[in-house]
């Protein structure tokens, strides 16, 4: 059964305590972030049920939020998740080409993960960095003004880091 480590549980309780009694549901979004980080980068039904039990809300209330936001993964993902923005300004600056290039380079479709478990490709809506279009988010970092050459360099960098961190 999913269970937070003592350290993560303390963090979760600290977040819940920021809200008035009975309003612990307000902590749902940050608690889901912690859960996703703690349980392998994605939210299983079991994890979402666990979060619901901690916040004393119905599981459906957790599912509604987790399925609405693209930052939550509802199935296992790779070590590096490429979230490529496909909204207007990024599209006008070539995000379609970037997405196609990543697909062909990694041999996966949007929503898929490479067989080696390193990369997942997602498309997302505006990430608020339109002035740096086309762009994508990888973990906590934005990669901007993407070109095919930059994508090559980013993939190389991730592969190198994956080897170093193993
Ligand atoms: S349209 Fe891509 S960051 Fe806003």
Q: Is the CB of 51 under 6 A from ligand 1?
A: no
103 and 130 in one domain?
yes
Alpha helices in 93-147 (DSSP H): 95-106
Can you spell out the DSSP letters for 40-74? TTS--HHHHHHHHHHHTS-HHHHHHHHHH-TTS-S
Residue 74 included in any domain: no
- What would the mean pLDDT of 147-164 be, rounded to a whole number? 96
Q: What residues make up the domain containing 143?
A: 80-164
127 and 53 in one domain?
no
How many domains would you assign to the chain?
2
Query: Which ligand 1 atom lies nearest to the CA of residue 133?
Result: 2
32 and 12 in one domain?
yes
Residue 75 included in any domain: no
Identify whether the C-beta of residue 50 lies closer than 8 Å to the C-beta of residue 1: yes
Full-model pTM? 0.90
Q: Which of 127, 131, 145 to mutate to test the pocket of ligand 1 (most atoms within 8 A of CB)?
A: 127
Q: Is the CB of 127 under 6 A from ligand 1?
A: yes
Output the pLDDT for position 70.
Answer: 92
Task: Pick the closest to residue 85 from 131, 130, 136, 119 (CA basis).
Answer: 136
Residue 146 included in any domain: yes
Backbone CA torsion sign across 122, 126, 127, 132:
positive
DSSP 8-state code for residue 79? S
pLDDT band at 153 (very low <50, low <70, confident <90, very high): very high
Per residue in 127-147, pLDDT (tens digit) is 999 999 999 999 999 999 999
Residue 2 has pLDDT above 90, yes or no: no
Q: Which of 20, 47, 68 is the last residue of a domain?
A: 68
Identify whether the C-beta of residue 61 lies closer than 8 Å to the C-beta of residue 52: yes
45 and 111 in one domain?
no
Backbone CA torsion sign across 150, 156, 159, 160:
negative
Q: Match 């190389």 to its residue by tokens.
A: 156
Task: Determine the distance separating the centroid of ligand 1 and the alpha carbon of 57, expressed in angstroms.
Answer: 34
Output the pLDDT for position 92.
Answer: 98
63 and 84 in one domain?
no
């Amino acid at each position: 059964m999913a269970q937070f480590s003592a350290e993560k549980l303390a963090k979760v309780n600290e977040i819940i305590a920021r809200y008035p009694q009975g309003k612990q549901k307000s902590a749902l979004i940050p608690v889901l972030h912690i859960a996703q980080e703690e349980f392998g980068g994605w939210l299983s039904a079991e994890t979402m049920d666990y979060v619901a039990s901690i916040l004393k809300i119905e599981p459906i209330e957790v599912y509604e939020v987790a399925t609405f936001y693209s930052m939550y993964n509802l199935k296992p993902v790779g070590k590096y998740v490429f979230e490529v923005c496909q909204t207007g300004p990024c599209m006008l600056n070539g995000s379609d080409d970037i997405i196609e290039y990543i697909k062909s380079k990694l041999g996966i479709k949007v929503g898929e993960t490479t067989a080696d478990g390193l990369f997942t490709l997602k498309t997302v809506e505006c990430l608020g960095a339109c002035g740096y279009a086309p762009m994508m988010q990888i973990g906590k970092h934005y990669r901007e003004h993407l070109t095919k050459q930059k994508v090559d360099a980013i993939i190389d960098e991730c592969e190198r880091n994956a080897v170093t961190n193993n």
